[in-house]
Amino acid sequence: MSARDSTPPSGDPTAGPGPASALPAAAHQPTAHPDAPVLSKGTLVIDVDACKGCDLCIDACPVDVLRMTVDDVNDRGYRYPQLLPGCIACKACSAICPDFVFQVYRYDEPRDETGGTRG
C-alpha cells in the first residue's frame, strides 16, 4: 500500500483499524518479566470494619491492585478490599469510597514487594 493509497489491505475502503479502545487491555500495557519486582509508590490503610463491600474501589483503581476478599468478611458481614503490591498512591479508591475507609500514603521512593527500595 503506497503512502497515497488509503485503502486498507482488506480492500474495503470503509474498514479501518478501529479505535484503540477496541484492542484488549493487555495490548496497551507492556508485559513485565514474572521475576521482576513489583514497585509500589504508596500504600493504604483500610478501615476494614467500616467497609460495606460496595466494590467501587475495585473498579476505580487504575492499576488493579485492590481485590475483594472471597471468604473473609468484616465484623458487619461484608467482604472488604485487600491491597496487592503495585499501588501508585493515586487516591482514586479514597475519592470514590462512600464510607471513607481508605487512608493513602505515598512513599518517598518506590518500594518493591519485599520492602526494599529502588533508586
Interval 48-90: pLDDT, tens: 999 999 999 999 999 999 999 999 999 999 999 999 999 999 9
Q: Is residue 20 part of a domain?
A: no
Residue 17 lies in a domain: no
Q: Which of 26-30, 38-42, 58-62 has the lowest mean pLDDT?
A: 26-30
Higher pLDDT, 86 or 13: 86
Phi then psi dihedrals of residue 48, to 5 deg: -55, -40
Q: Count of domains in the chain?
A: 1
Alpha carbon 78 to its chain centroid, in Å, reads: 22
Identify the pLDDT of residue 37.
82
Whether the predicted pLDDT of 113 surpasses 70? no
Is 92 within a domain? yes
3-state secondary structure 7-30: CCCCCCCCCCCCCHHHCCHHHHCC
**pLDDT score for 33:** 60
**Is 95 domain-assigned?**
yes
**Residue 119 placed within a domain:** no
pLDDT of 26 over the 50 cut: no
Does some domain include residue 117? no
Q: How many CA atoms lie within 13 A of 46 on its CB side?
A: 20
Q: Residue 43: inside a domain, yes or no?
A: yes
CATH value at residue 41: 3.30.70.20
Which of the pair, 41 or 17, is modelled with greater confidence? 41
Is the pTM value of this prediction over 0.75?
Answer: no
Is there a domain that residue 40 lies in?
yes
What is the arithmetic mean of pLDDT over 16-44?
59
Count the Cβ atoms, other than its own, within 10 Å of residue 16. 10
> Given this model, what pLDDT does residue 34 score?
63
Residue 79 belongs to domain spanning? 36-112
How would residue 18 be classed by pLDDT, with cut points 50, 70 and 90? very low
